[in-house]
Amino acid sequence: MKSFFNLSVLLFASLFGFSQEQPRSTQYIFNNYLINPAISGIDNYTDLKLGHRNQWKGLEGAPVTQYISVHAPIGEDFVRSSVNSFSGAGYNPLSRSYVNSYTSAEPHHGIGFFALTDKSARIRQTNVNATYAYHLGLSYDVNLSVGISAGISSTSVDVANVLVDNSADPLLSADYNNKIRPDVGGGIWLYSPRFFMGASAKQVLGYRSKTENRQSNLPAYQHTVFYGTAGYKFFVDEDIAFIPSTLLTYWLNAPTTIDANLKVAYQDKFWIGGSLRNNDSFSALAGFNIASLINISYSYDVTTSALRSVNNGTHEIVLGILLNNRYDVKCSTRQF
């Protein structure tokens, strides 16, 4: 029975799971860098994040995702000068007065790196990418950045202990089950102290599956994934802000997914929020910052699809570390 279950998950994931470039993240608002390389170096410190997501807890073979990401700006004028409108160390970037006095950043470059691995039953997907972005000011308070990413995508399937009647089944031996492929993407990011808008694409090259060294008639095994996201900051008073945002994900041969998120932040100390994903789940989120070095966020998803009867929800936690933080900022000034 266990072998039959593993094979069922294998079939499901092979047909549907890898149409997308990377696993879902409820906390996209906390690290949009994973889906858009244009965010590389957006703040004038080094942003390091570690993430762990345990999806559909209690369901055997359910996806488990882990990642590490780091990005930083390049350019002395941006890194070592007060070009971000900070009046001094510890200035609160979520305050209304900061927004009113904000000016665009100096033109600068940003670089970054991320590695992500996702294991679902016997299938493991790994993505490793380096990123680059260029930021410039369009007006006194609006910035635009353009970024690219390049790396590798690896998919491997462990079929060693799967029991089937026909061991020659091509599903168990096809070359695309264990292969490393190039991964190229790009994105743009428009941002100010009150809003952000971004569009990006992953797996721009795509690729087709092959069987017995012949080009098959099957559609591309993995397609380009498109992302669109936007958010806006509304102030209740000087230190409390409501930040609604949305993420749209589209790829061929799969339903379009829409995430809607509402975050309520107090100064740069802590925040709470909620999220809804169409035909999939709703979530509760919370996070806080420690000094000017560490921030932690946690989310819990409740499944609304047919899988709700066989799992205990999804847990996701992200640890952020702000390195070379010259102005002692406690949270991002440009990612909300």
pLDDT at 167 exceeding the cut of 90? no
The domain ranges of the chain are 22-201+289-323
Q: What is the phi/psi pair of residue 123, to 5°?
A: -110, 130
User: pLDDT confidence of 150, banded at 50, 70, 90?
Assistant: very high
pLDDT tens readout for residues 187-223: 999 998 889 999 999 988 866 555 444 444 434 456 7
pLDDT of residue 9: 43
pLDDT tens readout for residues 15-32: 334 444 456 788 888 889
Residues 6+ apart with CB under 8 A from 258: 246, 247, 248, 249, 277, 278
pLDDT of residue 252: 75
Residues 6+ apart with CB under 8 A from 327: 44, 45, 82, 84, 86, 88, 89, 90, 91
pLDDT of residue 131: 97
Mean pLDDT of 142-166: 82
Mean pLDDT of the residues in the chain: 78
| Contact status, residue 139 vs residue 102, Cβ threshold 8 Å | no
pLDDT of residue 10: 41
Share of residues in the chain with pLDDT > 90 (%): 34
pLDDT of residue 99: 65
Task: Give the closest residue to 241 by CA, choosing from 336, 320, 143, 333.
Answer: 336
pLDDT at 175 exceeding the cut of 70? no
pLDDT tens readout for residues 276-324: 988 878 899 999 988 888 989 999 988 887 777 777 788 999 999 988 8
pLDDT of residue 83: 38
pLDDT of residue 44: 80
pLDDT of residue 145: 95
Work out the number of other CB atoms within 10 angstroms of the CB of residue 208.
13
pLDDT at 59 exceeding the cut of 80? no
pTM score, two decimals?
Answer: 0.81
pLDDT at 163 exceeding the cut of 70? no
pLDDT of residue 221: 52
Tokens coding 159: 């079929």
pLDDT of residue 123: 82
User: pLDDT confidence of 67, banded at 50, 70, 90?
Assistant: very high
pLDDT tens readout for residues 75-113: 766 555 443 444 444 455 556 666 666 667 778 899 999
Which of helix, strand or coil describes residue 132? Answer: strand
| Contact status, residue 270 vs residue 264, Cβ threshold 8 Å | no
Residue 9 or residue 281, greater confidence: 281
Mean pLDDT of 135-140: 87
Residue 214 or residue 39, greater confidence: 39
At 168, the amino acid letter reads: A
pLDDT of residue 93: 55
